[in-house]
Amino acid sequence: MAVKVKIPTMMRARSGGEPVVEGEGTTVREVLKDLEGRYPGLTSGIVTDESTLHRFVNLYVNDEDVRYLGSLETPVTEGDTISVLPAVAGGASIDR
């Protein structure tokens, strides 16, 4: 089952510059695992070493936050879009 995953600019260095990639799987976790196989390092900014979502990154299946669905076990089907949304501050340097 192919699902589209939108990659934010910040993470595109690890998706070969691609803004949208396709992943196989029936849950968010499976799709991320599939992507990690083809784009090593891509998901390290999304999930922790303990395989939970980082608290400064949100994942949406279509327009719904997966935290309010089934987190990484949220089922996905053909035609769904997963969007990755990292926290960004914008502007000048944080370490002055």
Q: Which residue number, 2 or 10, has a Cβ lying nearer to other proteins?
A: 10
Q: Which residue number, 37 or 87, has a Cβ lying nearer to other proteins?
A: 87
The answer to whether 88 contacts other proteins (rule: CB under 8 A) is: yes
| One character per residue 17-46, x = contact with other proteins (rule: CB under 8 A) | --x-------------------------x-
CA distance 78 to 87: 28
| One character per residue 48-87, x = contact with other proteins (rule: CB under 8 A) | ------xxxxx-x--xxx--x--------------x-xxx
Q: Which residue number, 49 or 95, has a Cβ lying nearer to other proteins?
A: 95
Query: Residue 15 in contact with residue 42, Cβ under 8 Å?
Result: yes
CA distance 21 to 18: 6
29: nearest Cα among 57, 56, 66, 65: 66
Q: Which helix (H) or strand (E) holds 72?
A: none
Query: Residue 31 in contact with residue 3, Cβ under 8 Å?
Result: yes
> Which residues of the shown chain bind other proteins in the complex (CB under 8 A)?
8-10, 19, 45, 54-58, 60, 63-65, 68, 83, 85-96
